[in-house]
Each structure stands twice: as C-alpha cells, then as structure tokens.
Chains A and B, each alone.
Chain A
Amino acid sequence: MTRISGTKVVFGRPELDRLIALLRADGYRVIGPCIADGAVVYDEVTSTEDLPEGWRDDSQPGRYRLDATGDGELFGYGLGAQGWKRFLYPPRQMLFRAEKAGRGFRIQQRDDDGTPPLAFLGVRACELAAIGVFDRVFHQKGFEEPGYLRRRTDALVIAVECARAADSCFCVSMHTGPALPAGYDLRLNEVVDGTRHVFVAEAGSERGAALLDRLSVDVPPPALVAEAAGQAEAASRQQRRRMDPDVAGILARSLESNHWEEVAKRCLTCGNCTMVCPTCFCTTVEDVTDLSGNNAERWRTWDSCFTIDYSHIAGGALRQKASSRYRQWMTHKLSTWHQQFGVSGCVGCGRCITWCPVGIDITEEAAALAQAEGTSAAGQGHLAESPGDAGQGR
C-alpha cells in the first residue's frame, strides 16, 4: 500500500488516462487544462487527449500567446486563463426562490446546487495557495459559506509542479511556489525527454494514496527523482518579477500618494484583474421578481471593487475616481488582507498582469509606490473624496 508523502512512484501517460477514467467512474467531474480560443482554460476533460499537448504559454503584461513546442508535454504551460475559482465559487449562484404567500413570502431554501464532486487536474502551487486563501475567507467562524465548503470538501486536487515560469509569474516573492508544499491529494512532476514521458507522483492524502494503489506504477530510479525535484528550482530561477517584501507597509503608508492618479490614467476600471484573481471573492446579491411579482429569486453574482455600484451606500458611491478604486483593490489585496485574514491576498500568479488589457503590473505599481514614498504630497487631499476608504472587502 502506498504511503502518504515520501513514497514516490512513476507512471506513464496511459496510467494518467487510467487515473482520469477511474475518477470519472467514481463520479468525479474531472476539470483540467484544455485549449480554447487561443488560451489554456480549465474545463471538463475525459482523457489526456483533451490536455494542451505540446503547448506553452507566453504570458506578458496585457499579452498572452500560445506557442507550439512539439515536445509532447501535457503540462508545459503555466496557468489557465482563469483559475479554479469559477468551479469552487461559481460566477452566478442562486441562493433561494421565494413565492408570495399572503402578505409575505415563502422561502424555498436551496441547499445544494447539484454539482458533482470535482477533481482538479493540474493545480499549480500558487493556485493551491489561492485555494488556501479561499478556505480562510469562507471558513471563518460565523461566516461559513456552505456551498463553497461542500464543493471544496468534495474536491480532489491533483497538483502538477511547475517546471518553468512565465514572464508574469512572481510566486517566489510571495512564498507560494513554484515548489508544491502540501494540501494536495496527489502531486505530479511531468518529465519529458527524448526517451521517456513519465509522471513522478506522490500522495498527499489518504484519498490520493488510495488512488495510486489502483494504478500500475513503478519505483522511480534516483536520477529521475532528482530530475523531478529540480524542476521547481529551475522555475524559481526563471522568475524575473518580484513583489517588494514590504509591500503591506508601503501600501499602508501610501494612501495619499500622488502615484494613484498616475495608475488611474491607465486603469480602464474594467474589473478584469478582479475577475481573473484567484482570491478576489467579492459578490453582490440581487433579488429578481417575475412580471407577476408572485415569484422571486435571490442570486449571488461575482462583483468587482472597480464598479461604481460596489461602493454605493446611502448618499452615493464612495469611490467615484479610478484612483480610489485601484487603491482599494491593491491595498486590500496586499495590505489590509493580512489584518482581515492573517495572510496576503496575493499569491503571485500574475494573472492580473497578463489579463489586464493595458498590462498594468501590480509588482511595478508596488515598486513605483515605494519609490514615491517620501515624495508624495500627503495631506493635499487629491483623494479627498474618500479619505481612508482603502479598507477591507465586504
């Protein structure tokens, strides 16, 4: 029987296919990387045929392209365009239906959205860290989010360690990767060279160990184990981008920085960064009725702190200016998140950099704010519409 962590095994591509088939037979919906519309996206996979064989992404600020490598790697890309968020916390969730009854409404609670258990194939270290952030957000005492917790508890995580870094990556400086720590059911390292295409695997949970027991595996030779172990280090060395280690402090001191107006000149306030961020969890709740008014539904949908409605309270929206909205997002993500959840809200995946249509780079903005410190016109009140509103997300 396979032991949890420590025991490494090796298998080939046919066994990966068998793993997918076993999971499907066990009732899991297997979600993994696929190619769609010129990018790697996470979607349902039925075999390794669906995986992005021989494709590598070139992820730069505001620009993403896939390059064919022809090397047969299944996990040679960096990240999917969107993370696992949309599976664990879907963009639109119906909370309940209500039916008019006398002068009030009868609520029909909706406990379960009917999602089958999910198996995530190809989770990266930064993505695992992001799921860890979500676990904190949705598992606070008194604020448990039952839908998330159910999907999360059911989900099986097959992590794949990065063998290279993309241009946008900065997980090293966020201490979230590229090496996989714990928190997975199974971890894989894909090794491809002229003579072999294999996966070095290790179980991280009882569930993962039980799965490995059902596969036909071999004991990997020490040289292969060493090669697999060197992948994350190589990926670390490739990373050019880094977040300033004092970013939480820089932001706390930069609330009145002139630099926010500079970012605002470029910021489209389109919300793309928040949509692709694997830890942005903000939602809005809307009630809809039918024409008769006898039936109503309550929906929770993804929201973004870049919209005007997001900060709308009695009397109007607090954050009219793009500068105050960008400041809110970045300050919450990298500074006040620590106070709220005891951890940074950023995992260094770089999606906000890649998928910002104008390529605003959060690490460069942090560096620019650091540089502007001491030269800012604190107290001049150019952000006076919302003094000190850079607080916590709702």
Chain B
Amino acid sequence: MAPRKRPKLAVWKFSSCDGCQLSLLDCEEDLLAISEAVDISYFLEATRKPAKGPYDISLVEGSIATAHDVETIRQVRRQSRTLITIGACATAGGVQALRNFKNVKSFISRVYAHPEFIETLDQSSPISDLVAVDFELRGCPVNKAQLLEVLSATLNGRKPNVHKHAECIECKMRGNVCVTVAKGEPCLGPVVQAGCGGLCPSVGRGCFGCFGPTETPNTAALAEKFAALGLDPRDIQRQFRGLNANAEAFRKESERHGN
C-alpha cells in the first residue's frame, strides 16, 4: 500500500485553561504514534513553528468570550476540513459561562484595578454557537483515551465510539457502589454523559458533571432526589451550575431553583 500523506493537525485555543490541549500532550507513549499519524502543523503548546493552513483536522479548545474569539473561530473554520471541539469550554461555554447568569460588567469593575483594559463579551458561548462543528468531545478536561479514539476514528473514516448515555453505566461497569444510594451523596451521574470512567464515585464522592448532560437528561427528577437528600434550592442550583452550567439542560434546571 502506498504511504498516505499525513493529514495536517491544528490545535487551537480560545477562552480556556489549556487543560484539554495538555491532554493531547499527556498521551505519552501514544504521542509518538500521533505524530506519526498526523503532521502536527499548528500547536503552540507543543511547537513554536506553526505551519500555514488549510488543515485537515482542527482540535478547538475554549469558549467564545471576546470579540477577538468571534473573529478567530471563523478563520479557523474556513481553514479546517474537520473541526472537532474539545472540552467543556468549547462544547458548553465552560465554567466562565457562569457570567451568563449575571451582569459581567459588575464583576469587571470589582475584580480589576483597571476595568477599562478588559474587553469581553457578556456571554461565554460554545464554539457551535458560532460555526459548524463536526464533532464535540466533552469533558473538563477531555479524557485522553476518548481523545485518541476520536482522532483514530476521524483518521480512519469511522464513527467514534463515544457514548451519550449516563455516567452510571460506566460507573456500574467499573463495579462502583452507587454513592447516592449507599451514602446519600448527591451525584449528577444519572444526568451526566459518560466519558471519565466513573472517576469521582470511585473515590466515594458524587459526580459534578464534567462531561455535561446526557442525551435525555431528566434533571427535574434528579433535582427532586437532591431535595429529598436535604439539599436546599440554592444547593440544587449550584449542583447544576458547574463546569457545564451553560449546557441547555443544566442551565434550565438551575434556573428553576434558588432564585
């Protein structure tokens, strides 16, 4: 078989903490395989020598939070054949989307000595609000095994094995004991998408929703359970206002409590 030309990979950062990009660097021994499978053309976290577009695959981290982000993401989309968003910021607006529930100008004046230097949008938005996205990989940060799976699937023209069902399924497959049933711990697992492998319940605490809502999240029924466990409305609101606060199902549920 003739050696195929290596597809060009670009990794972009918007409003984010860099943790998802680092998951790629964190692939350790697989990183070598990645660099053999793709031509890492633009990845400022890894190389200072960016190559010009267009790119075959763009991994996009971060949310849209400034006017500059809006401009840049459109350029990225134009240069990318396949655009994959990675992480809670890029897929839901991230923790910085907590501003969406408040007046951001009042924060700026209280936090910064020179608020006049801060230029930011009122809302933090997922990438898909601005441009077409080919695949959204959830997580805060993304799971590196899932990231590798999405890359392998994209390179080989198949559908990634990334599930949209509840975290509970992974958690039970791992053999964990349910923290809600056995300890009365509030856990978002039943309405949160699988992907982390059941990380938090494995150490005895409830899921706090890094992977965003499932395909059909019954947040109202879970909120009722939280209330039965003794959470007051404000606590219930906080459960849904985490890293994926701006994901539609969580945003709407949080608005039903604690106001």
The residues of A with any CB-CB pair to B shorter than 8 Å are 36-39, 41, 62-65, 81-82, 86, 91-92, 265-272, 275-276, 286-293, 301-302, 304, 306-309, 320, 322, 354-355, 357-358
Option from A37, A39, A289, A357 in Cβ contact (under 8 Å) with B225: A357
Q: Report Cα–Cα, A5/B146, bound state, in Å.
A: 53
Instruction: Using A65-B182, A304-B169 as known contacts, list a sample of 20 further A-B pairs with CB atoms less than 8 Å apart, ordered by residue number in A.
Output: A37-B183, A38-B177, A62-B181, A81-B178, A82-B175, A266-B218, A266-B224, A268-B222, A272-B178, A272-B190, A276-B172, A288-B152, A288-B161, A289-B156, A289-B158, A291-B151, A292-B33, A306-B166, A355-B181, A357-B187
| CB within 8 Å of A: which B27-57 residues | 30, 33-34, 36-37
**Cβ of B81 to closest chain A Cβ, rounded Å:** 18
Name A299's closest neighbour in chain B (CB-CB): B161
Name B164's closest neighbour in chain A (CB-CB): A308
Which chain B residues border A62 with CB–CB below 8 Å? 180-181, 225
Which chain B residues border A289 with CB–CB below 8 Å? 152-153, 156, 158
Asked whether B230 is an interface residue with its Cβ less than 8 Å from the other chain, the reply is no
Decide: A268 and B177 in contact? CB cutoff 8 A: no
Q: Report Cα–Cα, A301/B149, bound state, in Å.
A: 16
Name A320's closest neighbour in chain B (CB-CB): B216
Which chain B residues border A266 with CB–CB below 8 Å? 218, 221, 224
**Cβ of A324 to closest chain B Cβ, rounded Å:** 11
Asked whether B191 is an interface residue with its Cβ less than 8 Å from the other chain, the reply is yes
Which chain B residues border A304 with CB–CB below 8 Å? 165, 169
Name B191's closest neighbour in chain A (CB-CB): A268
Decide: B165 and A38 in contact? CB cutoff 8 A: no
Asked whether B215 is an interface residue with its Cβ less than 8 Å from the other chain, the reply is yes
Option from A37, A41, A275 in Cβ contact (under 8 Å) with B169: A275
- Taking chain B's interface residues, is the majority helix, strand, or loop, or is none over half, making it mixed? helix
Asked whether B173 is an interface residue with its Cβ less than 8 Å from the other chain, the reply is yes
Which chain A residues border B153 with CB–CB below 8 Å? 289
**Cβ of B59 to closest chain A Cβ, rounded Å:** 14
| CB within 8 Å of A: which B114-140 residues | none
Which chain A residues border B165 with CB–CB below 8 Å? 271, 304, 306-309
Q: Report Cα–Cα, A292/B158, bound state, in Å.
A: 13
Option from A37, A290, A309 in Cβ contact (under 8 Å) with B163: A309
Q: How large is the interface on B (under 10, 10 to 19, 20 to 34, 35 or more residues)?
A: 35 or more
**Cβ of B176 to closest chain A Cβ, rounded Å:** 7
Decide: A288 and B221 in contact? CB cutoff 8 A: no
Indicate the member of A82, A308, A357 with the most B CB atoms within 10 Å.
A357
Asked whether B148 is an interface residue with its Cβ less than 8 Å from the other chain, the reply is yes
Decide: B218 and A292 in contact? CB cutoff 8 A: no
Which chain B residues border A276 with CB–CB below 8 Å? 172
The answer to whether residues A354 and B181 also contact, given A275-B173, A306-B165 and a CB cut-off of 8 A, is yes
Asked whether B204 is an interface residue with its Cβ less than 8 Å from the other chain, the reply is yes
The answer to whether residues A271 and B149 also contact, given A37-B182, A38-B177, A265-B221 and a CB cut-off of 8 A, is no
Decide: A291 and B148 in contact? CB cutoff 8 A: yes
Decide: A357 and B161 in contact? CB cutoff 8 A: no
Q: Report Cα–Cα, A301/B216, bound state, in Å.
A: 21
The residues of B with any CB-CB pair to A shorter than 8 Å are 30, 33-34, 36-37, 148-149, 151-153, 155-156, 158, 161, 163-166, 168-169, 172-184, 187, 189-191, 204, 214-216, 218, 220-222, 224-225
Which chain A residues border B176 with CB–CB below 8 Å? 37
Name A90's closest neighbour in chain B (CB-CB): B173
25 A-B pairs, CB-CB below 8 angstroms?
A: A37-B182, A37-B204, A38-B182, A39-B177, A64-B182, A81-B178, A82-B172, A86-B175, A92-B173, A266-B224, A271-B165, A286-B161, A289-B156, A290-B33, A291-B151, A291-B152, A292-B36, A293-B152, A301-B173, A306-B165, A307-B163, A307-B164, A308-B165, A354-B181, A357-B190
**Cβ of A307 to closest chain B Cβ, rounded Å:** 4
**Cβ of B240 to closest chain A Cβ, rounded Å:** 14
Decide: B155 and A63 in contact? CB cutoff 8 A: no
In the A-B complex, list the 3 residue pairs whose CB atoms are closest, starting with the nearest: A275-B172, A270-B190, A91-B173
**Cβ of A244 to closest chain B Cβ, rounded Å:** 25
Q: Report Cα–Cα, A290/B34, bound state, in Å.
A: 10
**Cβ of A87 to closest chain B Cβ, rounded Å:** 11
The answer to whether residues A38 and B183 also contact, given A276-B172, A357-B178 and a CB cut-off of 8 A, is yes
Option from B151, B158, B215, B221 in Cβ contact (under 8 Å) with A358: B221
Which chain B residues border A272 with CB–CB below 8 Å? 168, 172, 178, 190
Q: Report Cα–Cα, A92/B149, bound state, in Å.
A: 17
The answer to whether residues A358 and B225 also contact, given A91-B173, A268-B166, A290-B33 and a CB cut-off of 8 A, is yes
Which chain B residues border A265 with CB–CB below 8 Å? 218, 220-221
Name A86's closest neighbour in chain B (CB-CB): B175
Q: Report Cα–Cα, A301/B174, bound state, in Å.
A: 12
Which chain A residues border B163 with CB–CB below 8 Å? 307, 309
**Cβ of A68 to closest chain B Cβ, rounded Å:** 15
